[in-house]
């Protein structure tokens, strides 16, 4: 019966355990772990009491980002938000701290702006901030208001309360009752008088009517007067006419402007040359003309600008890292050295090229056939260098890479944990038919900024007794000079 070795059983269990672990950390660890997606925006608040890191940032109740950090700057709270890259914030967007739920969790609410022309970019600032309704201040104001109300009610009660107050209210009511009764009697007793008043009014309007009809003639006179006025106007126009006449004759400055031949010629010339210029512009001659008339120029300009911005973007994203790693193999008491350059044009994509010095050296296999007998010789060149050339892509916490590993084809898998400080690596390469695949598993921990410690097991299923645990140390840093050297060459689309 076919039996599975303990190694394989353990391997399957480890694989299942790691898959479950990765699944759970993906589910749980979406808070600031892994890749930093989107862009960051700053806001200044007067008071952020209760707001926590990783609090939600919402528009209309939909989460679009998280609070990345909260710091104190110039006596105000500087809150950095990380906004999803698909979300565009207009420049006049408004930020406010709101409370949610029974436990009073704080979150940041953004109210979209109307200025759709300009959007906030990476590192930008939200200027419109709605000051938070501070509960303490609100309570203070309420207390003041309550005080005022109390004073009013106090005064009222001092006036109204007691027998005296009751008596005066009774008096007031009694008075108003009498008043209405009096009014009633007044109206009743004066009914006749009122009727007379109305009659008088009617007569008055009638009289007015009469006055208007009688004065018909006088109205006519008024109209006659108006006619005289218009005659005067006519005379005024005539004298205006005189003035223009004298201008025509060339008297005075205005006259000279119009009558003087020289002046006219000069003006003519000026207009001519102006027309020349505009003609040229129209026909697309000269720089301005080209700029205005030629569609291509505009397109070129547009392309140039977009190209420039893409170039700058690429150059910003572009990062290069240099690393050296030394591994001490316990079993053979020898050291393996790696020198790598990692080029990272995008955050989730990279290329690695490097040199490896293996104590075993470089293996060369030579098959020679003499008279039908093939002999295979393996040569080890102990000074031979091995090469690394890999491409890789990162998905959240997992990196998959492949290419040349130690001068043979291979693949690698990295898993990042603890905010990228801890890295688990598994590599498989040298898939040759006549010996077992070279497998390598390691864990690497970032001790200081540029210094990493690693432990692992090299070639652990080797059938040539080359399996060995190892401990390694590596130095890795970002090299900006190299980056500019690489990015000054034009980047294609």
- For another protein, the binding residues (CB under 8 A) are 5-7, 9-10, 13-14, 16-18, 20-21, 24-25, 27-31, 33, 330-331, 333, 417-418, 460, 467-469
**Among 417, 401, 418, which residue's Cα sits nearest to residue 409?**
401
Q: Are 403 and 350 in contact (CB under 8 A)?
A: no
3-state secondary structure of 296: helix
Q: Which C-beta is closer to another protein: that of 42 or that of 334?
A: 334
CA-nearest of 102, 100, 108, 101 to 132 is 108
- Please identify, using beta-carbon distances, which residue of 7 and 115 lies nearer to another protein: 7
Length of the chain: 493
In angstroms, give the least distance from the CB of 108 to another protein: 16
Nearer to another protein, 390 or 468 (CB): 468
Closer to another protein at the Cβ: 55 or 83?
Answer: 55
| Smallest separation, CB 30 to another protein (Å) | 7
Closest CA to 126 of 108, 140, 138: 108
Report the residue number, 105 or 430, with the smaller CB distance to another protein.
105
Provide the minimum distance between the beta carbon of 443 and another protein in the complex, in angstroms, as a whole number. 11
Nearer to another protein, 31 or 464 (CB): 31
Of 20 and 365, CB closest to another protein: 20
CB of 29 to another protein, least distance (A): 4
Using CA atoms, how far apart are residues 293 and 296, in angstroms rounded to an integer? 9
The Cα–Cα gap between 132 and 278 comes to: 58
User: How many other CB atoms sit within 10 Å of the CB of residue 30?
Assistant: 12
Instruction: List the Cα angle 341/344/349 in 5-degree steps.
Output: 125
* In the complex, minimum distance from the CB of residue 454 to another protein, in angstroms, rounded to a whole number: 15
DSSP string of 392-453, one letter each residue: EEEETTEEEEEEEETTEEEEEEEEEETTTTEEEEEEEE---TTS--EEEEEEEEE-SSSEEE
* Least gap, CB of 473 to another protein (angstroms): 15
Q: Which is nearer to another protein, 330 or 380 (CB)?
A: 330
The residue (of 33 and 44) whose beta carbon lies closer to another protein is 33
Characterize the bridge pairing of strands 62-73 and 76-83: antiparallel
Nearer to another protein by Cβ, of 185 and 419: the residue is 419
Least distance to another protein, CB of residue 460, Å: 7
- Please report how close the Cβ of residue 34 comes to another protein at its closest, in angstroms: 10
Element (H or E) spanning 316, and its range? helix 295-317
Q: Tell which residue, 457, 340, 453, has the closest CA to residue 405.
A: 340
Say how many Å lie between the first and final Cα of the chain, rounded: 60
The answer to whether residues 365 and 378 touch, using CB atoms and an 8 Å cutoff, is: yes
**Min dist. Cβ of residue 325 to another protein (A):** 19
DSSP for residue 206: H
State the minimum distance, in angstroms, from the CB of residue 52 to another protein: 12
Distances (CA, A) of 231 to 80, 112, 218, 364, 485: 80, 66, 21, 122, 91
How far apart (Å, rounded) are the C-alpha atoms in residues 396 and 414? 11
- Which is nearer to another protein, 11 or 154 (by Cβ)? 11
Residue 318 gets which letter from DSSP?
Answer: -
Shortest CB 420 distance to another protein, Å = 12
Q: Confirm if 451 and 430 have CB atoms less than 8 A apart.
A: no
């Amino acid at each position: 019966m076919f039996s599975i070795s303990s190694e394989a059983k353990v391997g399957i269990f480890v694989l299942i355990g790691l898959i479950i672990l990765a699944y759970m950390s993906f589910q749980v660890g979406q808070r600031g772990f892994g890749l930093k997606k989107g862009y960051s925006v700053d806001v200044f608040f007067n008071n952020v009491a209760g707001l926590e890191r990783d609090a939600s940032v919402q528009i209309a109740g939909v989460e679009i980002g998280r609070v990345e950090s909260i710091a104190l700057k110039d006596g105000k709270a500087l809150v950095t938000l990380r906004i999803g890259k698909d979300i565009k914030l207009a420049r006049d967007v408004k930020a406010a701290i709101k409370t949610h739920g029974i436990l009073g969790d704080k979150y940041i609410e953004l109210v979209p702006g109307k200025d759709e022309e300009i959007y906030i970019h990476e590192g930008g600032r939200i200027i419109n901030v709605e000051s938070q309704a501070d509960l303490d201040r609100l309570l203070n104001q309420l207390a003041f208001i309550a005080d005022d109300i109390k004073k009013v009610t106090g005064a009222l009660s001092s006036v109204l309360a007691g027998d005296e107050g009751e008596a005066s209210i009774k008096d007031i009511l009694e008075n108003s009752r009498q008043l209405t009764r009096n009014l009633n009697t007044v109206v009743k007793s004066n009914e006749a008088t009122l009727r007379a008043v109305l009659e008088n009014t009617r007569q008055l309007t009638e009289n007015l009517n009469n006055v208007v009809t009688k004065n018909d003639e006088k109205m006519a006179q008024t109209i006659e007067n108006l006619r005289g006025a218009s005659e005067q106007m006519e005379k005024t126009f005539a004298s205006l006419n005189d003035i223009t006449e004298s201008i025509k004759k060339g008297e005075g400055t205005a006259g000279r402007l119009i009558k003087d031949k020289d002046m006219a010629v000069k003006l003519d010339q000026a207009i001519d040359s102006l027309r020349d210029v505009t003609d040229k512009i129209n026909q697309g001659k000269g720089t301005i003309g080209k700029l205005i008339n030629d569609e291509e120029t505009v397109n070129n300009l547009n392309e140039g600008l977009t190209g420039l911005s893409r170039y700058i973007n690429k150059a910003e994203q572009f990062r290069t890292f240099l690393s050296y790693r030394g591994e001490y193999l316990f079993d053979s008491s020898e050291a393996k050295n790696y020198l790598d350059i990692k080029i990272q044009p995008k955050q989730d994509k990279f290329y690695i090229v490097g040199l490896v010095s293996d104590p075993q050296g470089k293996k060369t296999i030579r098959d020679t056939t003499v008279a039908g007998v093939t002999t295979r010789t393996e040569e080890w060149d102990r000074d031979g260098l091995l090469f690394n050339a890999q491409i890789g892509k990162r998905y959240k916490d997992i990196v998959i890479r492949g290419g040349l590993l130690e001068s043979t084809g291979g693949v690698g898998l990295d898993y990042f944990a603890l905010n990228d400080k801890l890295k688990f690596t598994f590599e498989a390469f040298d898939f040759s038919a006549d010996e077992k695949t070279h497998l390598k598993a390691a864990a690497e921990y970032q001790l200081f900024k540029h210094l990493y410690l690693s432990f692992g097991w090299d070639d652990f299923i080797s059938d040539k007794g080359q399996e060995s645990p190892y401990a390694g140390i590596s130095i890795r840093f970002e090299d900006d000079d190299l980056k500019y050297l690489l990015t000054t060459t034009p980047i294609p689309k």
